[in-house]
Amino acid sequence: MLKDKNIVLGVTGGIAAYKSVEIASRLRKAGASVHVIMTAGAQNFITPLTFREITGNPVITTMWGEVHNYNVEHIALAQLADLVIVAPATANFLAKAAMGMADDMLTTTLLATKAPIYFAPAMNTNMYNNPLTQTNIQSLVDLGWHLIPPASGHLACGIDGVGRMPDPVEILDFVLENIAHKADLQGKKILVTAAGTYEPIDPVRYIGNRSSGKMGYAIAAAAQKRGAEVILVSGPSALMPPQGVDFIGVESAAQMREAVLKHFPKTDIVIKAAAVADYRVRNVAEQKIKKNDDKLTLVLEKNPDILKELGEKKNSDQILVGFAAETQNLLEYAQAKLEKKNLDMIVANDVSRKDAGFNTDTNVVKLLYKNGTIEEMPIMTKQKLANELLSKIIRLKNQ
């Protein structure tokens, strides 16, 4: 897919700049022609020579050089680009880009290009979470720039948190996943549920679960990019709703049910990735419960099973996909749910694994189909899995 493509790789001044060498190398091995633009900051971390050797192309470091090795004017690189990747993208760079500044070769090229732009923010957690940075990221996303979300982990500044640049392989996976799929869901209406529900105990407290929403959000984003009209019904989540989806935020299972049932009749495909609470508190206290007694008994009553209701209502053209998160007897339980809820497919998820299930960026699943087929999927990012699932659902729909 990258063969003979001209890719501009923007490198800004973050410690993660060393990882960009591997990005450049992988792009070149994939057959792309890589043109690196480095900011002044980036050159403090790594030398242009490294990129020149890796890419076999001159590296642009300034707008003001007397002799341009590069045989084009600065705008020409913007025109030549089939794709731009900025990795790492520092807070300073994001601020400048969001303001439309053009004070160096990278920002200038980005203002002038019509190619899709991918950016991988990498910085200290507090800098990343700062509302100024978040506002800048949002402005760029609103313009159609593709955000490669930072990973969480140990950062160079010594703290653990969000802001780490994903590994080069993950960055390339992200980009490839995005460009690989055509608008094969054009004209389809897809309803996705995501994250866990909060079941209130009193005005202050709730019963919740560990679902982050990552899988459902990845599905919603992928479906939207492939041309579908997407409604995302989500329980509370720290994630930003993907660009271009119709977002409905809910808290409890009852609210989720109401939203889902309202939109169900007009949807072609429903994917229920939400971790819906099976039980809710029977008598929700109107005031905050005080800690008077040594014991507190909460009586729970069963929540309606939304997916089962959909299974009873669905017509033969509608595709219904559920998730089964289990810690044991995965296939057996998943199979039972597939049948009981009248699903076309169930995604069975062993949540006892470290690399799968709640709050991870990767997932390992087995797919069970109505006709009895079982497919084992290798470990992959949730984004890649989202696209794989959608491709399989399209195949089901066309059968």
**Where does this chain bind ligand C5P (CB under 6 A)?**
193, 253, 272, 274, 276, 278, 303, 305-307, 322-324, 337
Please return the burial class of 58, using the count of CB atoms within 10 Å of its CB with bins 0-12, 13-18 and 19+.
Answer: middle
Residue that the structure tokens 């979470």 belong to: 129
Nearer to ligand C5P, 116 or 208 (CB): 208
Q: How far is the CB of 271 from ligand C5P (least distance, A)?
A: 8
Nearer to ligand C5P, 188 or 272 (CB): 272
Among candidate residues 157, 159, 204, 238, the one labeled active-site is 157
HSE-CB of 102 using CA atoms within 13 angstroms: 11
What is the DSSP code (8-state) at residue 303?
Answer: P
Strand partners, 10: 37, 86
Nearer to ligand C5P, 123 or 334 (CB): 334
Interatomic CA distance for residues 287 and 201, integer angstroms:
10
Nearer to ligand C5P, 23 or 346 (CB): 346
Q: How far is the CB of 252 from ligand C5P (least distance, A)?
A: 11
Strands 374-376 and 365-369, sheet pairing = antiparallel
Q: How many CB atoms lie within 10 A of CB 198?
A: 20
Element (H, E) at 230: strand 229-234
283 catalytic? Reply is: no
Strands 83-89 and 117-121, sheet pairing = parallel
- Six-digit token pair at 311? 């299974």
Strands 374-376 and 380-381, sheet pairing = unpaired
- For residue 179, which phi and psi values (nearest 5 degrees)? -90, -15
What is the DSSP code (8-state) at residue 205?
Answer: -
Q: How far is the CB of 383 from ligand C5P (least distance, A)?
A: 19
Torsion of the alpha carbons at 324, 326, 329 and 333, rounded to the nearest 10: -30
Strands 33-38 and 6-11, sheet pairing = parallel
Q: How far is the CB of 291 from ligand C5P (least distance, A)?
A: 30
* DSSP assignments along 261-296, one per residue: HHHGGG-SEEEE--B--SEEESS--SSPPP--SS--
Q: How far is the CB of 297 from ligand C5P (least distance, A)?
A: 23
Q: How far is the CB of 274 from ligand C5P (least distance, A)?
A: 4
Nearer to ligand C5P, 103 or 375 (CB): 375
Nearer to ligand C5P, 201 or 345 (CB): 345
Torsion of the alpha carbons at 218, 224, 228 and 230, rounded to the nearest 10: 70
Q: How far is the CB of 334 from ligand C5P (least distance, A)?
A: 9
Nearer to ligand C5P, 163 or 322 (CB): 322
| Helix, coil or strand: residue 166 | coil
Torsion of the alpha carbons at 56, 62, 67 and 71, rounded to the nearest 10: 50
Nearer to ligand C5P, 51 or 323 (CB): 323
Interatomic CA distance for residues 70 and 339, integer angstroms:
63
Q: How far is the CB of 278 from ligand C5P (least distance, A)?
A: 6
Q: Catalytic amino acids?
A: 157
